Amino acid sequence: MGSASWSIPALADEVSAIRNEAIEFARGEGVPDPPLEELRLAISEAVTNAVVHAFRRQDLPGTVTVTVDVTVHEFVEAVVRDDGIGMSARTDSPGLGLGLGLIASVADTVEHRAPADGVGFELYMRFRLDGRAS
């Protein structure tokens, strides 16, 4: 199966475009529903979190990258990466604080990790293609 990656400036009006590209790619690779709608929700929440939280100490927006990998008849995996400060607890959060919990409720696996180059933050999400929990 395939893999693809897209990058956007970390701006709110860019979220739907990258989400739609990722979902169209996954659909084209044969990802069924479920988990296609769960993937859509998780990517949207993860990219929105990056836009809202990862660049709050910068004057200019950074970059958010989404990578989707589809393995043969097993999983669709998505990584949302920012090159900012990632997410951390904040008392002035403009959101409701539900994004990561929502992602965890729809994905089979969720991992928060530092990228290999040490810059930014990655959120790894995996969804089984057969609908069974992993």
Per-residue pLDDT of the chain (134 residues; tens, 9 = 90+): 799 999 999 999 999 999 999 999 999 999 999 999 999 999 999 999 899 888 888 888 899 999 999 987 799 999 999 999 876 554 555 555 567 889 999 999 999 998 888 889 999 999 999 865 55
Give the rounded distance of the alpha carbon of 4 from its chain centre: 13
Walk me through the domains of the chain, giving residue ranges and CATH numbers. 3-128 (3.30.565.10)
The CA distance from 68 to 98, in Å, is: 23
Relative to beta strand 3-9, strand 75-82 is: unpaired
Q: Is the pTM of this model over 0.75?
A: yes
